[in-house]
């Protein structure tokens, strides 16, 4: 079965009993966003990627794009901005881990960077 492109996906509202992404789903979805990695912080899996920029102003402009993306989906990442860098971490707070929404927004973050 072919996995539809994440970029075509739409975020769905999550609640505390929404399912975490399965190992098979994570593997399929990560194949579509190869620059992202799964990390664990305080026992919670999160998607993380760092983007490089020429300067602080470009990093801030990208962070604003991500802010607009996050607001439009009502799903918000951790954003760390440094000179020439912007790091994003997506995860679903309500379920303490990864959901399809996180992978969709990671893919959309890559589009915002392109």
Beta bridge partners of 48: 37, 89
**pLDDT for 102:** 97
Residue 2 has a pLDDT of 57
- Domains of the chain and CATH, by start: 21-113 (3.30.1360.20)
| Angle at CA of residue 18, ends 108 and 86, nearest 5° | 30
Locate 56 and state its tokens.
């602080």
Mean pLDDT value across the chain: 93
What does the pLDDT read at residue 5? Answer: 83
pLDDT at residue 90, as a whole number = 98
Three-state secondary structure of 39-92: EEECCEEEEEEEEECCCHHHHHHHHHHHHHHHHHHCCCCEEEEECCEEEEEECE
pLDDT tens per residue, range 76-97 = 999 999 999 999 999 999 999 9
Which parts of the chain sit beneath pLDDT 50? Answer: 1
At what angle are helices 100-113 and 56-73 packed, to 10 degrees? 140
């Amino acid at each position: 079965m072919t996995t539809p492109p994440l970029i075509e996906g739409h975020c769905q509202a999550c609640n505390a009993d929404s399912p975490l992404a399965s190992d098979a789903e994570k593997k399929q979805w990560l194949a579509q966003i190869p620059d992202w990695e799964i990390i664990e912080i305080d026992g919670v899996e999160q998607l993380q990627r760092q983007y490089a920029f020429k300067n602080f102003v470009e990093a801030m402009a990208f962070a604003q794009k991500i802010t607009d993306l996050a607001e439009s989906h009502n799903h918000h990442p951790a954003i760390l901005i440094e000179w020439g860098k912007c790091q994003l971490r997506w995860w679903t707070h309500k379920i303490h881990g990864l959901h399809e929404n996180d992978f969709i927004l990671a893919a959309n973050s890559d589009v915002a960077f392109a």
